[in-house]
Amino acid sequence: MEKTAKGFSKWSKAEKIEWVTRHFFSDPERAKKILTDWQRSEAEQKILDGFTENAISNYTLPFSVAPNFLVNGKVYAVPMVTEESSVVAAASSAARFWLERGGFHTEVLGTVKLGQVHFRWYGRPERLQALFGCLKERLRCCCEDITANMQRRGGGIRDIELLNFTHLEPHYYQLLVSFETCDSMGANFINSVLERMGDHLEYVFETEPGLADDERDVEVVMCILSNFTPNCLVRAWVECPVSELEDLAQTAGLPGAAAVERFCMAVRIAHLDPYRAVTHNKGIFNGIDAVVMATGNDFRAVEACGHAYACRSSQYRSLSHARIDNGHFCFELKIPLAVGTVGGLTGLHPLARLALEMLGNPSASELMSIIAAVGLAQNFAAVRSLVTTGIQDGHMRMHLNNILQHLGASEAEGAAAREHFKGRTVSFSQVRTFLEQRRAAVQSNV
Ligand code: MEV
C-alpha cells in the first residue's frame, strides 16, 4: 500500500520528512519548508527529538507569564503555556484583583501517590489474607535497591494493602501500594517498584514451602501506577469582605451583595448540573494545564485525576465552592495535583527548567499550591465575567488579534480594527471585510 511505511521509526528525520510530505501533501515543497523552518538549532533539536519517536518538527505554543500572583504571602510571576487567547489575560487580571485583597491561600492536604498490582489467585481468599502478613514485608524488601534513594530523600513505599475484588471478577485481587515521591512526580519510580513486586509475587508463590497446589497459581495481570490520586490534594482559597467586591457589583449593575450572591449561585449551578460543571471545571483547567505544561508536568494525568475527583460523589460537580458567611466572601478550590519539580521533563526541557526557575525552584508541594491558585484565579475570572459582562467581550478582543494576524494586518490596520470593533461583534468575515474596505480606501487615496 502506497501510503504505509515499514520500519518508519528507523528512518532518518530527512527520510521521514521526505516520505510524509511526498505522500500526504499536495505541495510537498511548501510542507517541507514549514517543517524545516520550525526546527531549532542542532543542539536544541537533539534534546526535543529525544522526547518522542518520529519527531519531524516542533509544534510551538506561546510561553506567557501571569504576574502578581500572591500565594501564601509570596509573589510569583507564573509561567503559562496555552494557545487559548484569553486565558493568560484572565489569570493576570484575577491575580491583580486578589493581590489587593490578601492574595491566595493554600494548604497541601496530602502528597500520597498510588500504584496497583492486579493479579489472579486461585486459592481461598482467607488463606491469601493470612499469607499476606509476611508477604507484605517481603514485597517491601524486594524493592529495596529501587527505593533506597527515595528513602534517603524522605520518601518511598508508605503502605501495601491487599484488596479482594473476587465479588466483582473471579479470582481478582489487587495490591494497592501508596508512595511518597517527594519532589518528583514519581511515575517511573512507582512503575519500577510495582513491576518488581509483581515478579516477586509470582516467585514467592512458586517457591514458598507448604502451599497447596491451587495456592501456587498466581497470575499477575498488570502493574501500573494509578493516576487517580485523591490524597495528593491541595486546597486554595481567597476571601474578603463582600464590601471589597464593589467593582464586581458595578460591572453587573447590581447592588454589592446581590452581585456576589449571583457569583455564588453560578458556582452552585456547577454543583448541581453536570453540563455546567464540565464547562466550569474546564475553565479551571485552562489555568491549571497552562502551568502544568509550562513546568514540564503531565497535564493528561492531572486532567484525568481532576475529573475523576470531580465525580467522587457519583455525579460530576464543580471543583470549586463559593459562599458568603456573615458578609464575608470565600471562594475555594480543592483539587488533586500529582506534579513534580525534579526528574522527567522538568529537568530536560530548557523552557520547563526556566519556568521552574521563574517560580524560584519550588518544591512539589509549593508547585501544587501555585497551580491550585492559578486554577482558582482562572475560575474566578471566568465566573466573574459570566455573571457580569459575559465572556465574549474579552474573548473576542483577544480573538480579534488572532484574526488580524491571520489576515496579515499591519500595525496601523490592527489599531484601526481594534478601534472599529470596540463594542461591535467580531467575526472572521467582518474583520476581513473591514480590512478589505480599509485597504481599498487607502489605495484610492494614493
Ligand atoms: C472558556 O475556555 C472557559 C469558560 O467557558 C469557563 C466557564 O464557563 O466557566 C469561560
Q: In this model, does residue 66 exceed pLDDT 80?
A: yes
Alpha-carbon dihedral 224, 227, 232, 233, rounded to 10 degrees: -170
> Which residue among the candidates 180, 298, 332, 413 is catalytic per the annotation?
298
Is the pTM here over 0.85, yes or no? Answer: yes
Average pLDDT of the chain to the nearest whole number:
95
pLDDT for 333-362, tens place per residue? 999 999 999 998 898 999 999 999 999 999
- Give the pLDDT of residue 427: 87
Give tens-digit pLDDT for 267-281.
999 999 999 999 999
pLDDT for residue 321: 98
What is the model's pLDDT at position 392?
Answer: 76
Q: Above pLDDT 70, what percent of the chain?
A: 100
Question: Which residue's C-alpha comes closest to atom 7 of ligand 1?
Answer: 280
Write the CB contacts of 395 (distance below 8 Å, at least 6 apart in sequence).
85, 86
Count CB atoms within 10 A of the CB of residue 58.
14
pLDDT at position 432 is 94
Strand partners, 239: 330
Give the pLDDT of residue 425: 82
Position 232 confidence tier, pLDDT thresholds 50, 70, 90? very high
Query: Could you give the CA distance from residue 266 to residue 242 in angstroms, rounded to a whole number?
Result: 16
Residue 260: pLDDT over 90 = yes
Instruction: Supply the pLDDT for residue 231.
Output: 98
| Rounded distance from Cα 280 to ligand 1 centre (Å) | 6
Q: What is the mean pLDDT of residues 423-429?
A: 85
What does the pLDDT average to over 394-407? 84
Distance CA 202, CA 214 (A): 13
What is the whole-number distance in angstroms between the Cα of residue 170 and the centre of ligand 1?
44
Res 163: pLDDT: 98
Q: Determine contact, residues 164/144, Cβ cutoff 8 Å.
A: no
3-class SS letters over the chain: CCCCCCCHHHCCHHHHHHHHHHHHCCCHHHHHHHHHHCCCCHHHHHHHHCCCCCCCCCCCCCEEEEEEEEECCEEEEEEEECCCCCHHHHHHHHHHHHHCCCCEEEEECCCEEEEEEEEEECCCHHHHHHHHHHHHHHHHHCCHHHHHHHHHCCCEEEEEEEEECCCCCCCEEEEEEEEECCCECCHHHHHHHHHHHHHHHHHHHHHCCCCCHHHHCEEEEEEEEECCCCCCEEEEEEEEEHHHHHHHHHHHCCCHHHHHHHHHHHHHHHHHCHHHHHHHHHHHHHHHHHHHHHCCCCHHHHHHHHHHHHCCCCCCCCCEEEEEECCEEEEEEEEECCCCCECCHHHHCHHHHHHHHHCCCCCHHHHHHHHHHHHHHHHHHHHHHHCCCCCHHHHHHHHHHHHHHHCCCCHHHHHHHHHHCCCCCCCHHHHHHHHHHHHHHHHHHC
Residue 391 Cα: closest atom of ligand 1: 10
Nearest protein CA to atom 9 of ligand 1, as residue? 280
Q: Does ligand 1 have an atom closer than 6 angstroms to the CB of 96?
A: no
Tell which atom from ligand 1 comes closest to the C-alpha of 385.
10
Mean local confidence (pLDDT), 13-35: 98
Q: Comparing C-alpha atoms, which of 305, 331, 334, 308 is closest to residue 319? A: 334
Between 158 and 252, residue with greater pLDDT:
158
